[in-house]
């Protein structure tokens, strides 16, 4: 189980993978209820919501 780095909530990695694309830096944002993910700094980060993902990306400054 992955954890959201922003709020610490657990995420179902399989569901997040199933609902997002495989492309680094360009993960599709499909269903926030099932989690999402972002490739950053050489690894995938998993988030429970797009809001958390946005906060994380704002803090870590990736603009792609
Ligand atoms: Zn979160």
- DSSP states of 7-33: T--EE-HHHHHHHS-S-TT------GG
Confidence (pLDDT) at 4: 92
Could you tell me the distance, in angstroms and rounded to a whole number, from the CA of residue 25 to the centre of ligand 1? 19
Could you give the CA distance from residue 18 to residue 8 in angstroms, rounded to a whole number? Answer: 21
How many domains are there within the chain?
Answer: 1
**How remote is the CA of residue 15 from the centroid of ligand 1, in Å?**
15
| 18 SS3 class | helix
- Per-residue pLDDT, 23: 45
Question: How many Å lie between the centroid of ligand 1 and the Cα of residue 53?
Answer: 7
Q: Give pLDDT, residue 7.
A: 94
pLDDT at res. 6: 94
In the block, which residue shows the tokens 């657990």?
10
pLDDT score of 19: 62
Centre of ligand 1 from the C-alpha of residue 50, in Å = 8
* Cβ-Cβ contacts under 8 Å for 60 (sequence gap 6 or more): 40, 41
Residuewise pLDDT in 10s, the chain (64 residues): 889 999 999 988 887 777 655 444 444 444 445 567 777 888 888 888 888 888 998 988 755 5
- Domain with 41, as residue range(s), is 2-60
């Amino acid at each position: 189980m992955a954890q959201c780095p922003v709020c610490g909530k657990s995420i179902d990695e399989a569901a997040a993978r199933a609902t997002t694309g495989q492309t680094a830096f360009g993960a599709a944002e499909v269903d926030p209820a099932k989690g999402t993910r972002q490739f950053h700094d050489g690894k995938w980060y998993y988030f429970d919501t797009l809001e958390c993902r946005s906060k994380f990306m704002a803090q870590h400054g990736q603009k792609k």
